[in-house]
Amino acid sequence: MDPDLFRADLADKPARLGALASALRAADPWAGLGDERTSWLFLGMGSSHYANQVAAARLRARGIPAVAELAASDLLPLVTPATTVIAVSASGGSAETLDAVRRLRGAAGGGARFVALTNREDTELASLCDVTVDLQAGVERGGVACRSFQHTLALLLALEAQLTAGPDTATLLDRAAGACARLLETRDDWLPAVAAAALGPHGTQVVAPARRISSALQSALMLREGPRLPAVGCETADWSHVDVYLTKTTDYRLVLLAGSRWEPELLDWVTRRGSTLVAVGAEVPGAAVTVRYPHDDVDDVRLLTETLVTELVAAEAWSSSTE
């Protein structure tokens, strides 16, 4: 793992996402993989599971049976010939995901279809599955799954669009690529202030709406994985039930990924207890720092873009810690 290469991986996000948009215009990787009888099981670990959770919830909201499970679980759902299993692993080598595919194939997996969603096609995961969908995120030389997380979300949004005759995913990816490019171009303007506000002596909390919970979880993971800083991700409304208590006893630093209708209660607690708030994607009362970017009023652009803010904070903190 290398902080300078991680920063270079982040800088390549707009170009890689734009290339994926072009690839989706040329061919639908999900064509022929689903019909009205299909139920969906998403398997993964870490950031793959974060993306899977959002994808499955979105499909269920459209009336399509779908669940996301940690591949390590001993309580995986029973699969049938009507099940399509999407096994997600950027490296194609996650031991738990490989084990889950083997278990399901060896138990009740007869007739189920298995799809590997991976950044490498020459892996054991690909060999275990019937179909492979390439993430097209490129080699992440920094050793951190940043672009592959973004591309996992992008391709799962493309799957949703294919199953529901939804809007053009490629256009969405072009907008997200432009938003990422703007954040990278302007980082000298906002990054020092965000880092100073978000990184406190007791760590960083990140919250996002349930429909974008992957953003909070991935953002916190980036701070833990690279610079090894304490960070926790939480859903905005649930924050008032599980994390609010620390605002009373710690130097509380909160990054709010905006857009939840449950923000007023959170903001009330943060304001009353003098916590430090960073707002991303909207103007929020009481924020010490606010980060905006093009199309941040479009929820799916937020989903594909907002983690870059904390990723860049993590990259700078990581570089500083190795100097």
Q: What is the CATH number of domain 186-322?
A: 3.40.50.10490
Angle at 116 between CA 137 and CA 221, to 5 degrees: 55
Q: List, run by run, the mean pLDDT of 10-residue segments along the chain (323 residues).
A: 95 98 96 84 98 98 97 95 95 96 80 92 92 96 97 98 92 98 98 98 98 98 97 98 96 98 97 97 97 98 98 95 68
**What pLDDT is recorded for position 223?**
98
**What pLDDT is recorded for position 139?**
94
Read off φ and ψ for residue 47, nearest 5 degrees: -65, -25
| pLDDT, tens digit, 9 for 90 and up, residues 293-322 | 999 999 999 999 999 999 999 999 999 876
| pLDDT, tens digit, 9 for 90 and up, residues 73-119 | 999 999 999 999 999 999 999 999 999 999 999 875 568 999 999 99
Write down the number of H helices and E strands in the chain: 13, 10
Q: Which helix (H) or strand (E) holds 115?
A: strand 113-118
Domain ranges of the chain: 3-169, 186-322
**What pLDDT is recorded for position 110?**
65
| pLDDT, tens digit, 9 for 90 and up, residues 236-253 | 999 999 999 999 999 999
Q: Which helix (H) or strand (E) holds 41?
A: strand 39-44
CATH 3.40.50.10490 fits 3-169, yes or no: yes
**What pLDDT is recorded for position 323?**
58
> What's the full length of the chain, in residues?
323
**What pLDDT is recorded for position 320?**
85
3-state secondary structure of 253: strand
**What pLDDT is recorded for position 1?**
83
Contact 133, 115 (CB under 8 A): yes
DSSP state letters, 76-94: PPP--TTEEEEEEESSS--
Shared fold status for 3-169 and 186-322: yes
